[in-house]
Structure 1
């Protein structure tokens, strides 16, 4: 299963892109901001797309009672996620090497994919929880207290995926380069599974 093992190794290594490229991106545009404000979400922290974007977003959020953008030390995810990704990369490479020398079945490739899929779903669920808390847990002493037509307090949860209009802001939330690298890497591990299956059948024949 040499070819399958190599594909598995390459697919696993693509996850290392998360240490360089953002996992997610959220942009806020409005008439008073010709150049939209944005933040890139990495597995190790949050950065502004431009130098002062985080500062400006926090300034806007202050008026409506939203929390400031969390720093690395404010969220356990920023210390745990890099370790999880590092572990999955190492595990995938080891499985790929063992597959290359026919020490493990091609089914291990699919097993890695399933585990990574579960971790990805849990990560998205956690991210959505953070967005919900970020947009709904508002300071009651905020300068601006806006209400919905039914009289309930307005919330400002950014969309998990896609576009949403919030007040006069156009908010876009989309995967970053790191997320696409995960997708391609995981796709390659599925390819490795089928290639490995075919190679094993050819050997048995």
Structure 2
């Protein structure tokens, strides 16, 4: 199996190290704007907790029958720290091994992690926006309040936004480094082997 160049191994190491800020920065954000909240309400999702205007958002959502948002509704908070740690560890091992398969395996794992996170976010948003309290003070026939997975969406008189926050943008940068390493590896020409039967 082909060995990677030193520069590509360094790119793997940098990509692994860029996962570390996920422990210290918010990974996702959900924001709401309305005439009564022109400054907006913002909720940030970290690796193990929520922050921001969570209480105010719960107060607004109560009237339309949406569930109370709290750390306890995210079981992912109990194990996400270990998954992130495993990704960092695998990246370090891939750097030490320095083989093509280790680069592709690391890229595959971190890409799979990203896809699963998006699927999980969509699942949560769907359940949160569709499973409403039938006794809610405000009911609109046929209306659901699923927040957008990524981007903007109008929900009644609110404009909702959902998207990556600082930690996820750093992780995306790490994925970009891995893609760069893969492209560089593909473009590198194999060293020419001297034919022992050819005279100089």
TM-score relative to the length of structure 2: 0.87
The structure with the larger Rg is 2
2: CA distance, partners of 1:4 / 1:180: 21
Q: Tell me the secondary structure at the aligned position of residue 192 of structure 1.
A: helix
Bigger relative CO (Cα 8 Å, ≥ 6 apart): 1
C-alpha spacing 1:200/1:44, structure 2 compared with 1 (3 Å):
farther
Match of 1:32 in 2: 36
Match of 1:77 in 2: 76
RMSD over aligned Cα atoms:
1.9
1: CA distance, partners of 2:26 / 2:38: 23
CA drift of 1:166 comes to 0.9
Q: Tell me the secondary structure at the aligned position of residue 18 of structure 2.
A: helix
Out of 34, 40, 47, the residue aligned to residue 43 of structure 1 is 47
Match of 1:11 in 2: 15
Match of 2:62 in 1: 62
Q: Deviations over 1:18-60 (max 9, x none)?
A: 1122211111011111210010112212211xxxx11111011
Match of 2:181 in 1: 192
2: CA distance, partners of 1:20 / 1:190: 25
Q: Deviations over 1:139-164 (max 9, x none)?
A: 111111122xxxx3x11111001111
CA drift of 1:182 comes to 1.2
TM-score relative to the length of structure 1: 0.85
1: CA distance, partners of 2:79 / 2:118: 14
- Could you tell me which runs of 5 or more consecutive residues in structure 1 were left unpaired when the two chains were aligned: 100-104
CA drift of 1:74 comes to 2.9
1 or 2, which has the higher helix percentage? 1
CA drift of 1:106 comes to 2.0
Out of 108, 111, 117, the residue aligned to residue 117 of structure 1 is 111
Match of 2:158 in 1: 169
* Bigger mean CA offset, 55-64 vs 107-116: 107-116
C-alpha contact (below 8 Å) 1:24/1:42 kept by paired residues: yes
